[in-house]
Amino acid sequence: MKNLFHNIYSSQSFGARLVLLTYALGFPLALIGHYTHTFNLFYWLGLSPVLVWKGQVWRIVSYALLPGGWIDWVVSLFWMGTLISVLGRNWTSRGFLGYCLLGIIAGALPPVLFQPKAEFMFAGNAAMIFALLAAWDWFYHNERLILLGFGEISARQAAILITLINSLILFFCCGWFLMLAMWCGGVAGWLWLTMRAKLFMGKTAQQIRSERVARLEL
């Protein structure tokens, strides 16, 4: 098992490894600061619209480095590891980092723009997870996989199922507005992939998927 995780981790680009490692270490570091009473990472990095408008603009990115709690950390880390192991090799290191940042920033903009005086503090990487799910569907939607408890389903069905579960958790824990805000990460990711295919590569999504399948068959 140790060799399996090592092989998955080592096969990824530097950008993919950096994203996964930063999130994996963020929560333990925050707990150390909390229990030693030396620093508070949640206060420094959490998304707070009113503080963003006061000049602390790093919060529109840094909020995704920390989870909402230990359950959120475990679940998100699992899905990040799973999705990054599949998607990390679809981009260069810089491209993967840029795509993740796009999803994170897109998720932060709705509360910052529409609730500029809100004083809440939010942390979590749901926007990036939704962006990665959108990429998984975009690249692999017809591929089949075995999902425990559901049997054989397509990657698209799995992505929709995971999105619904995460959305319900967000709805009951954070409310409908933050749920919709985090959806913006997935929407932004999907739009970027579609625009990139049509404008920069001159191909449709289906053509790119067909070429990838042909390469796999060879």
Residue 47 pLDDT exceeds 60: yes
Percent of the chain with pLDDT over 70: 84
Contacts of 21 (CB under 8 A, 6+ apart): none
What the block records as the tokens of 62 is: 């840094």
Q: Give DSSP secondary structure letters for 130-166.
A: HHHHHHHHHHHTT-EEEETTTEEEEHHHHHHHHHHHH
Residue 218 pLDDT exceeds 50: no
What the block records as the tokens of 194 is: 């579609």
Residue in this structure with the two tokens 């092989």, named with its chain if needed: 7
What was the pLDDT predicted at 217? 36
> What average pLDDT score do residues 74-98 get?
89
Q: What is the pTM of this model?
A: 0.86
> What average pLDDT score do residues 49-68 get?
96
Q: How far apart (Å, rounded) are the C-alpha atoms in residues 166 and 160?
A: 10
Estimate to the nearest angstrom the gap between the alpha carbon of 75 and the chain centroid: 12
* Confidence bin at 208 (pLDDT 50/70/90): low
CA-CA-CA-CA torsion sign (105, 110, 112, 113)? positive
* Confidence bin at 213 (pLDDT 50/70/90): very low
> What average pLDDT score do residues 20-43 get?
94
**Cα distances (Å, whole numbers) of residue 54 to 113, 128, 159:** 13, 25, 37
User: Domain range holding 130?
Assistant: 2-217
What the block records as the tokens of 204 is: 């449709």
The answer to whether 45 touches 63, Cβ cutoff 8 Å, is: yes
- Residues constituting the chain: 218
User: What's 66's domain CATH number?
Assistant: 1.20.1540.10
What was the pLDDT predicted at 198? 81
Residue 4 pLDDT exceeds 60: no
Q: What is the pLDDT of residues 61-76, one digit of tens each?
A: 999 999 989 999 999 9
What the block records as the tokens of 107 is: 């998720």
Q: H/E element holding 108? A: helix 93-114
**Domain count of the chain?**
1
What the block records as the tokens of 75 is: 């679940």
What was the pLDDT predicted at 21? 92
Q: H/E element holding 211? A: helix 205-217
Q: How far apart (Å, rounded) are the C-alpha atoms in residues 136 and 87?
A: 7
What backbone torsions phi and psi does residue 87 show, to the nearest 5 degrees? -95, -20
What was the pLDDT predicted at 36? 94
Looking at this protein, which amino acid is placed at residue 83?
L
> What average pLDDT score do residues 148-174 get?
88
